[in-house]
Amino acid sequence: MSKKLWGGRYASKTNSEVEQYTASINFDVTLAHEDILGSMAHAKMLSHCGIITTEEGDQLQQALLDIANKISQNQLQFNIEDEDIHMNIERMLTENLGEVAGKLHTARSRNDQISLDLHLYLRKKIVEIVRLLTRLQETLLTLSKQHIHTILPGYTHLQRAQPIYFSQHGLAYVAMFQRDIDRLKDSWIRVNKSPLGAAALTGTSFPIDRHYVANELGFEGIYVNTLDAVSDRDFVVEFISSGALIMMHLSRMSEELILWSSQEFNFISFDERYCTGSSIMPQKKNPDVVELGRGKVGRVYGALLSVLTMLKGLPLAYNKDLQEDKEPLFDVIKTLCQTLSIYSPLINTLKVNEAVMRQAAQGGYLNATILAEYLVKKGMCFRSAHEVVGKMVAFCINNKCSIENLSLKEMQQFSVMISEEVYEIISIDNACAACVPSSLLREEIASSEHQLQVNYRWVAEKTDLLQSVYVKYALVY
């Protein structure tokens, strides 16, 4: 006879290879505390609705709490024969309570149970990742404030284009990460809905109160359609998609940091604590941390494609394929948390080589655009001004000099509109300030600082909400 908790109709034991192939306990053990939290709230709801007695509800909740404490202390072992986290915990509960344990699964299915666990787990991780992103923003903002007057070359096509402030460059990434935060905050709305009560797919004939249990768990609502509740993994795809964008932004920043730390650029230097050496070349100082940050984006992209592909052909409602959402999701969360955690101190310890940056900005004719705009302001049409300055640049290249090294007489050979004040206008400092006044930078910094506080308040608010749910059931958040 089968000893599975679901094995009533089965006369034979499950093939051992099938058990190994279909079991998920090796990875969904990650959801243990969320599974217990959801079960405690479900037991409370069953008692509240009179489906089980108050005494039975209390017994179930206390026994589940005891299991949670033992899991926290690594005192319990999970068995592959019980397949998943749900059946393992139910088995432990049965060993403690006997027949009363069998009442816990009244009016629910593993289908809505696993969906609930994912919602509970993911909303907690969204808050953590928003906190890490905001911390990274704060680090970048601090660096930007320190270098509000530091000038470096701005690039297009990886060719020197125009002079910019280092502050402006850092603030660009602050803005990118803010979009990432906004996406995560928006996804919270869909993650923070309860699927519990959908049971296997059609709901249940028991007089349960789905809104009661949703409120107990701090959810802002429920899934209206029960088939959708058990089969929806849009929220997983949406989160991984947001994670892919976060990693892409980190990868772009990593690429620049790698380039800038090379001897060819020498714009920055990494703290030795965030570098490694070569096993053969004694002089090497390798930026392995940011190289890994750039490389790990691939596994997040892979996770997104994996989950999308898994979902694309599934009929309603639940299918075993959905088990394949967890490992990619858990890996993305681990990758994001590890990467974001290490990037803040890494950037905080960067050494910025201001003199080298400035020297690079003074080469490559980066003041050519501001000179063309000067001629336009004098009355020349832009296309003519573009051609005039282009010829001046060609002349300077042939004569191995910069535009500002030309005499006024030499400049006037290209246009009589040029006068003495041109030297001040095309200086590297004025060329930079003309496009990005310091007042504009300070406004952007002030706006970013305000947004940081908004982000931190959101994190604090959601953390308080989630902690209150766990504390209510005497669980550790």
CATH assignment of the domain containing 372: 1.10.40.30
CB-CB neighbours of 422 under 10 Å: 23
DSSP line for 316-345 = SS--GGGGGGHHHHHHHHHHHHHHHHHHHH
- DSSP string for 221-287: -B-SSHHHHHH--HHHHHHHHHHHHHHHHHHHHHHHHHHHHSTTT-SEE--GGG-B--SS-TT--B-
pLDDT tens for residues 347-361?
999 999 999 999 999
pLDDT at 1: 37
The domain tally of the chain equals: 3
Residue at a domain's end among 426, 449, 472: 426
Question: Sorting pLDDT into bands at 50, 70 and 90, what band is 17?
Answer: confident
Closest-CA residue to 370 (of 309, 414, 432): 432
How do residues 230-249 score in pLDDT, each as one tens digit?
999 999 999 999 999 999 99
Residue pointed to by tokens 């002349």: 395
Note whether residue 456 is domain-resident: no
Least confident piece of the model among 119-128, 159-168, 181-190, 272-281: 272-281
For residue 392, what are the domain limits?
Answer: 368-426
Examine the fold and report which residue of 426, 446, 468 is the final residue of a domain before the chain moves on.
426
Give phi and psi for 194, each to the nearest 5: -95, 130
Bridge-based pairing state of the strands 159-165 and 151-156:
antiparallel
Please give the average per-residue pLDDT across 62-69, as a whole number: 97
Q: Residues 6 or more apart from 177 whose CB is under 8 A from it?
A: 133, 136, 137, 140, 246, 249
Residue 196 lies in a domain: yes
Six-digit token pair at 460?
């604090």
Residues 196, 63 within the same domain: no
Residue 131 has a CB neighbour count (10 Å cut-off) of 19
> Do 308 and 409 belong together in one domain?
no
Percent of residues in the chain assigned helix, strand, coil, to nearest 5: 70, 5, 30
| pTM score above 0.75 | yes
> Where in the sequence numbering do the catalytic residues fall?
157, 278
Residue 153 belongs to a domain with what CATH number? 1.20.200.10
- Residues 25 and 46 grouped into a single domain: yes
Does residue 54 form part of some domain? yes
Q: Which phi and psi angles does 73 have, rounded to 5°?
A: -95, 10
> Is pLDDT of 300 > 50?
yes
Average of pLDDT values for 197-224?
97
Q: What's the pLDDT score for residue 8?
A: 66
Mean pLDDT over residues 125-153, rounded? Answer: 97
End-to-end CA distance of the chain: 40
Q: Are 64 and 36 within 8 A, CB to CB? A: yes
